[in-house]
Structures are given as C-alpha cells and as structure tokens.
Structure 1
C-alpha cells in the first residue's frame, strides 16, 4: 500500500505543478471551426514512452479548469467527465485528438491537452474559434415610393444568424453609398440567447432624385469565416420615384393629319410627373375658360368648323399648358346633272363635277366602270354616249375620305330605216336587209305586198349603240314589195323596197355606205353628170350648126333637084324613127 500512496502523492503534485508549466517551444494554437460541424483538436504533443494517461480540459473565464475527457495508455480505457454541455458530443482518439460534434458558439474556449507520465505532465493549449456564415441579406420594409427632395426611409437590409459580428453596406447602381446629408444609416444587432447567433439590420434613409428612376439598390453583408473575410450581396431592389410635373403635352387620336368630318376625336393631356396628373383643363377653339376633365376629352362627329387650336393645362398651375392645331378635312362633290337623265339624239348636254375640299383632291371619271381620259362633254349626243358615268374624288392624305356621284345617261331617238338588197351570186335568191337605228330598241316587222302577211323567218344582228339590222332571204317568182316597219315608244317608221322576180336581173344596192364612201360616190356622180351635160351641150351646138347649114343648102338647091331632096328627107326620117325605137 505504501508505494501506491507515494505514487498518488507524486501524481497530484505533478498535476498541480503542470497547471502553470507549459512545454517549452509551444504557443497558442487556434482551430477555426464552422457552426454545427465537428471541431477537431489534435493534441500536438509527442506521446512519451512512459505515458500513463492523457487528459483534456478547458478553462473557464475565471481560469479554473474543467476536465472533460480521459484516456489510459495501458488499459486503452476512455472516460468522459460528466459535463452537461458536452454530453454525447466528445470523442478522444488513440493519438489523443479530441473531437467535438455539433459545434456551438459556446465552444469558443481555451482547451488544453495533458499527457501525464510518472515524472512529468505535458500540456498543449488550443484556442477554438467558431464561425457562422450569415444568411443572404434581404431588403425588407421597402418604401412604396420615394419623393424627390425628401429624406425618406428606403428600407431595411437584414442579415440573420451570423457569428461573429458582421458589417452591412448599401449600394446604388453597384456603387457604395457614402454617408452624406442625403443618406442616413442605422445599424441594429439582436442576439439569440439560445444560439448566440446575431441578426443585423441596417436601415437606410435616403433623399432621392429623378436620376434614381429605374436604378437598382442593393446591400451586402461582410463577415469572417474559417478561411477569411467574405461578402454576400442581396437581390436588387427598385423604387418608384415620385416627382412633380414639369411639362404638359397634348396628343390627338386619330393622328391630326387624318381627321375627317364625322370622326370622333380624342384629346389626351399628359404631364411628365410621377404619378401623372389625373385632371386637366381643356380649352376648345375660341374659348377662354377651360373644361375640367380627366386626362382625355372626346369630341364626337366633328365638322369642318371644329378646325382650330386646342389646349390643355394643369388645374392648379394653368401656366403649364400645351397646344396643338387640328384640321378637320372635308370633301364635297356636286355632279350636274346627276341621277337618271334622258336626252334625244343630237342634243347637247353640258356636264360639270364641282369639288370643294380642305386639300387638293384628285378627280377620276368612269364610264361603265372604265376609266376615262378626260371629262365627258356632249355637243351632239349619239347612242354610244349612253351609259353610267361616275365622277369620283378623294384626298390621298386622308384615308377613307372619298366621294362619288353618278349620272345614268339615256339617249333616245326615233326609229330610222334604210333598206338594201343583194342578189345571190347564183341568182337563186335575194337578201333584203332592213338597217334600223333608234332607242329604245325598235321592234322590226316585215310584210310583203299582195297577201300582206308577216314574215317571221328573219335574222337579226346584236343591238349595239342603238343600231342593228334584220334581214330575210327570198326567191320571188314575181315582182313584190317588201315593207320594213320599225317601232319604239317614240314613233313608228315604215319603209318599202320593190324586189323584182328572180328571173329579172337588177342592180344590187350596197349593204351599207360610210360617210366617206358617200362623199366619193357623190363626187363621181357629179363628174359623170358634168360629162354628160357637156356632151349634150356639144351635140346641141353641132345640131344648130348643121341645121343652119342644111337650111342654106335647101334654099340653094330647091329648084335644082326636087326629087333628090325628097329622097334625102325620107332617109333622115327613117333614121329618126330607128333612134326612137331604140
């Protein structure tokens, strides 16, 4: 028993001495750990061959030790002291490395590794530092809007669950906001008693300007971790900037150059402030008093007299005003005559299309949907002049502004008839044609002399420009007379043509003779008549000369040869008789 007691005394003495003695050459060693993870602290001492056991302790703030783990070198036995805050969190390895799971802020202490031999106690201190990365900073309690030239709280930048203390910095458009009279920050820290983690809040009071419109604001938190200093940035935050109206503008819908009579006009007044003004005063042309309205004022079914200057202003600052000029485009068209007009062939008809417009207008004439090259003018109406005429005009600059008036011209005329006949080259038939002209279309009826019967087997041409023909083919065995009757609402016209029997040759008449050919035929007829008249005059002169000569001869030879004279006279009488028969 004596040796054991002596040994125990020496051990206690050694422990007491070792509380103040450190192994030469060893200083403070720091272990940086992350909150919630495992703290690993190597002993940092060489294990002596005569080691009896190893032991770990930590020091309280007052310097008193608290033993937490023991390991025997001979029995390989590990024992953990009854320390509540480290219950089930400690692990001591064979090389006397101490591990503490689920690191806490309270684990920030000075720990000491102790290796004990029979002759000495060796110690190696380790300082534990615990770090907790803060949450991503967030801008909360954001102002709904900021007003220019007013110092107003912009928001709070909050960073939670950090250790140790952190710093918060504000940024405008990516640049640090330096403290000034236009910016005030306030920092608050709140520590959770259970976890000892901090929540840091920085409030920013800021005087905004119009330059902050659509500019992002952010904040960052700077903290220290096991590997050094780091920074985390918040998401961007944008703020609605309120500022007073500095300018008023007026808009016109539809666009000013496209307004025409009958349109609805919307005047829209805008102020460049934020929020924009909700009420304005609208001034109509010639009115000095404004009409209070929202930012729009509507005019319906405008007329040309609505052309003029329109203005709008703020209700509380009438000098801030905007103006615009509106032209209401118009287009008038008058066609004279118009509608349905009935005239007689050969009549004159003046036609006028009068345009009145706010701008130069283009005029187009159409006849039966075909564009005419010029305005129609009728000094002597013909059947081909009849039709549907349209005078159309529009303003190219104004969509939809178009006018048109129409004239339906009817040209009437009494029936006119011309009959022609033509013999077949074989001499077996004759074609009789009745050329008819008139409007409304005359109805044609054929009759033949003798029986007076109506001939139905006829052939008609198309009715074009008031003209057409009706023809029949006959083979008369005796001379007949064909009658063509043409009748419309104006008059009944009759014409007849004698047609000889098919065995009697007769001269055909031309089917149709143009005006030019008529003139040539008349010239030829005049020439023939002139030649015939000249020949007759020459024969007359020759006859007179011959008569005078014969009279003289008769007087001279009256008594010479009476019988011879009688024979000559008989001969002349006989010649004259032959001429008469011929």
Structure 2
C-alpha cells in the first residue's frame, strides 16, 4: 500500500513539471532588418526573456535559403558553443554573449550581396518553452558613375516608328539601381507609339547588378534643341541617392519650309569687276535635300553656292534658289535681287586736244554715266584745280597750256572711279624760258653744254649760231609739257658768243650766251718768253763761235792767259726782225760788224 502511494506521488510531480513547461513563456525580440555596405561587418542582435529565467537557455542561429529551407549555422547551451561547418558563414561569423544577460549578437564580416538573407534566432527554455525572432540582412553597393551615349546619325522627323535616341548604363550596384530618362527637365514615360524604353539587367557572379536602358522616340523639329539625360536612383543604408549622366543632344532632320538667298560677299554695294558669292539655305536640314541656283530659268549652280568673277551690270537681276527633297520630291524656293553698280569711262569735251589763241577763253566738260551719284575733279600736274563737271580757262596763256585730267569717282563705293584727259595748246610766238646763266667762264678746250627751253605753239624750230655767223650742231632736242628743250655742246678755244634762235609762224626770239676762255693770255706770254730765250741762246752760241771758243775755227788761243774778271760779253738784240747782233766790248763800245763774221775775236784786258 505504501509503495503504491509513493509511485502515485512521483507521477503527480512529473505531471506538475510537465504542466509548468507547457505554460513557460519565452519571448525573442529582433530588428526587422540590418543594413550594411558591401564589405562591411554586420551585427544581428537577438534579445530574449523567459518566465523560467534566462539561465540555461539553448540558443540556435539559422538562415533561410532562397528555396525557403532553414540552414543552422550555430548552436549554444550551458555546456557548449558550436559553429556549423560547411556554410557560407563558417569562416566569417562569430557569436557574442552567453545568454545569461538575455542578449546574444551574431557578427558577420566582409558582407557580400549573397549574404542578403533572413536570419533566425531560436531560444529554448528549461521547460521546453521556445521562442524565435527573425532579421533580414540588407546589403548595399554604390554603383559606378553612369554613362550615356547618343546616336551618332541624324534622325528624321518623317520616320514612322520610334527611332533610337541613346543608351544609358550603370554598372555594379546593389540592389538593382533604377534608370529614368529625361528630356530637358521632364521625365519620359513609356508610350508605345511615341516613347519606348527598353531596360536590360545583368547580374555578375558577385551578385552586383548592371542596368542598361535604351530610349527610342519619334522626334519632332523641336527636339533638335532638346537635351536628353538619365537619372540614376540607387539604395544605401537608411535611404536612397540619385545621380545624373551628362546631357546630350541629337541631330534631327526636318524638311525646309522656307529658303533664304543672300549675297555672301562682297558686303554692301556691288560694282562691276567684283567677284560675288551668292548663297542659299533652307530652314530645314534634310540630308536628302538638294539645291540649285538659277536666273531667268537658267541653272547656274547645282549647289547652294554660286560664285561669279568679274561681274558686270548684265549679271544684275533676280537669282532663285530651289530646294528639292529627294525622298518626297517636295520643292520650295526663295530669291534675292542682285544689282551691279557701274561707272562708264569718262567723256571729255572737247575731245583729246584743243588749240586756243592767247587771251581766249576755253570751256570743257567731263561726264561719266553711272548708276550712283558721282563726283568730278580736274587735276593738272598733280594739283587739283577745279571741282565739278565743267572746267573754264579764261584769258589763256602759255601757263594754262598742258594736260588736264578729270577724275570721276563714286563716293559710296571705294575704288570706283574713271578718268579722262584733255591737252590744251595755246598759240603764240616763241618765249624762251628763263636761263639760269648766260655769262659763262670756261677753261681752255673745256666742253660747255648750253640749254635753251622754248615755249610756243606751233612748236618753234631752234637753231644755234655764233657771233661770227657759224651754225652749231644741236646735241639733243626733246619735247616737254611746256615746249621744246634744245642742248648744244661747245668746246672752248677762244671767247665766243652763242645764240639760241627760236621761231614759229607767230614770231622769233633769241638768247645769247657769252663764253669767256680763261688762261689764253698766259699761254701766249709763255710762248713769247720761250722765243726770247731761244734768241738769246742762239746769239751767245754765235759769239762763242766767233771767238773760237767752239771747235771748228783755225788758229790758236792762249789758254794760259789769266782772264780778267772784268771781261764781259754783252749781246744786244735789235728791235727789228733782223738777226743782226752787236757785240759790246769791255768798255761798252760797239764792235764793228765785220768782227762778227766767221773770224775769231781776241779778247784782251
């Protein structure tokens, strides 16, 4: 009986303990998510409480595979801590805490996108009370800078379906970045008939994601000025960030609705002789458009540029430019009027030359037909003497004779001018222009050039003569604007007077040149002196001959006799032309002539 009671008590105690375990309460608290950048360390905290107390708990960590299956990675009780082998976290995880404080932390280093999983913390109490919590690990990677590439070819507005605009790409982000296309500052939404956006996603072996987006559109003319770009949205712990690509524009081909035609050069008014360049351009830019330039239906250029060299007034007129779209064969045209200004050669009246008498009045005119207002000036010898088409010369003299140039210009166009000439001759007798020097000193046998400048019309004839009536040969003669210049060369051997004689049908005039020969008298005196010396020398020799001092006479002379210092011989020359010589003795007495014959004379003291 006692044994049965003891057994009943034991069963009752077991039932009591079992009843307590069923009703034990274990609560586990965890964050919904833990967010970290790729490569960083993640810490997942598991906090728990139990009605049995927190001592002696069994703690396990699991993660949920993509298939939904749970994979245990850690076990812990009061006696052991075990990290499961062969999982993707075995080498990178650690667990801190004993559970006695009601908190345990799972740490995972070098987190990668493949680690983005759900983690479970399972806690068992002493009386089989169980609780679990779950946390999702979120991994983030900032993508590389996005790129954009627009199409290189133009897009026609006539295309029936959307045309490719460009491609945006962003690489190696996590989670998957988003790409939004913008036109100017407005986002583009997909529209089957107008806008088409085609994304493509590539997942690398590292689970990093690259996104590529292609935009196609039906373009309009306004899109030629629009800017396209992409906005990239990517995720980071605690939020999102945004970045943008560069802006691009596209070439849009659209047909012309008008054609402009203009003269590219020269700028301003055109004159004959210029080279002109005519250009035209449509307000569209279809590559299939061709141009031609024509005048009065005649094609001049199969392009949008026409060049005409050395243009004349005949090229004035309306020039038309036609643009043809070879796809649609639509034609549009425009035109411009070209006017070539002209200035005809100057016409001078009287023409070329005119002859007037001295004292008469002369009136001349100069005109040139021009498309613009002209201005006329008269010039003589480089000096402006009159302004206007008319030239009046009153009381004409030789000074008014000469060549007159009329210059006609168009003030509005630089370099547009013409000119004409009028030569005026004034009739009258010869007039010898002022001579610089008519009194000339010249050396003996020196050549002197004499110049005589004569006015007169008709042109005078010029003759050179001397005072003794001889004609001198003219060295040179030339016409000048004022008349005739004549030059003669004279070799001076004696004093001479030369005359320049000018004459025409209206009269004559002459000028005299007095030429003095320097040094002629000195030469004559030297000649006379030389003759006298020769005469004296001849007399002395004759005297010596008579005295026997010169070999050839018979007889002897005493050479030992002492000469008297007073012995002198005097030779007297008569003034007449005879060669009679009178010998004077020592005392000045004349010796007889016969003593001057072929015989020797003795000279004594």
Fold match (TM-score > 0.5): yes
Question: Is residue 2:336 matched to residue 1:324?
Answer: yes
Deviations 1:453-484 (A, max 9, x none): xxxxxxxxxxxx99xxxxxxxxxxxxxxxx99
The partner residue of 1:98 within 98, 101, 106 is 106
Find the counterpart in structure 2 of residue 304 from structure 1: 313
Within 5 A, what are the aligned runs for 1:341-490? 345-346=358-359, 348-374=361-387, 375-407=390-422, 409=424, 411=426, 413-415=428-430, 439=455, 487-488=501-502, 490=504
Q: Distance in 1 between matches of 2:377 and 2:151?
A: 68
1:342 deviates by: 7.1
Counterpart in the other structure of 1:203: 214
Deviation sequence 1:2-31 (CA, Å, 0-9, x none): xxxxxxxxxxxxxxx99x998426254310
Partner of 2:117: 109
Which structure is higher in helix share?
A: 1
Gaps of 5+ in 2: 1-20, 99-103, 433-451, 470-481, 484-496, 513-605
Which of the numbers 139, 161, 164 marks the counterpart of 2:148?
A: 139
Q: What pairs up with 1:243-254 in 2 under 5 angstroms?
A: 243-254=254-265
Distance 2:24 2:464 in 1: 156
Equivalent runs, 1:1-400 vs 2, <5 Å: 23-24=26-27, 26-44=29-47, 56-60=61-65, 61-68=67-74, 80-93=83-96, 97-113=105-121, 125-140=134-149, 142=151, 144-150=153-159, 151=161, 152-180=163-191, 182-192=193-203, 194-255=205-266, 257-275=268-286, 279-284=290-295, 287-291=296-300, 293-315=302-324, 320-332=332-344, 333-336=346-349, 345-346=358-359, 348-374=361-387, 375-400=390-415
SS in 2 for 1:106: helix
For the 8 Å contact 2:73–2:89, the answer to whether it is kept is no
TM-score normalised per structure 2: 0.59
Distance 1:97 1:444, change over 3 A: farther
Which of the two has greater strand per residue?
2
Return closer, same or farther for 1:173/1:321 CA change in 2, 3 Å cut-off: same
Q: CA RMSD in A?
A: 4.8
TM-score by length of 1: 0.61
Please give the per-residue CA displacement for 1:391-431, whole angstroms capped at 9, x wherever unaligned. Answer: 112222223211123445465642469xxxxxxxxxxxxxx
Q: Distance in 2 between matches of 1:82 and 1:52?
A: 22
Give the superposition deviation at 1:73. 9.0
Partners of 1:377 and 1:89 in 2: CA distance: 120
- CA deviation profile, 1:65-105 (whole Å, cap 9, x unmatched): 422487x999xx98644234235423445685433222222
Q: 1:46 to 1:248 in 2, by over 3 A?
A: same
* Structure 1 residue 344, shift from structure 2 partner: 5.7
Q: How many residues are treated as equivalent by the alignment?
A: 436
Query: Does structure 2 retain, via aligned residues, the 8 Å contact 1:282–1:290?
Result: yes
**C-alpha distance in structure 2 between counterparts of 1:68 and 1:32, whole Å:** 21
Show structure 1 runs of 5+ residues with no match.
1-16, 418-435, 453-464, 467-482, 497-582
What's the offset of the Cα at 1:54?
Answer: 7.0
The CA distance in 2 between the partners of 1:257 and 1:65, in whole Å, is 90
CA contact (8 A) 1:304 1:329 kept: yes
- Structure 1 position 246, deviation (Å): 1.2
* 1:322 Cα deviation from its structure 2 partner: 1.5
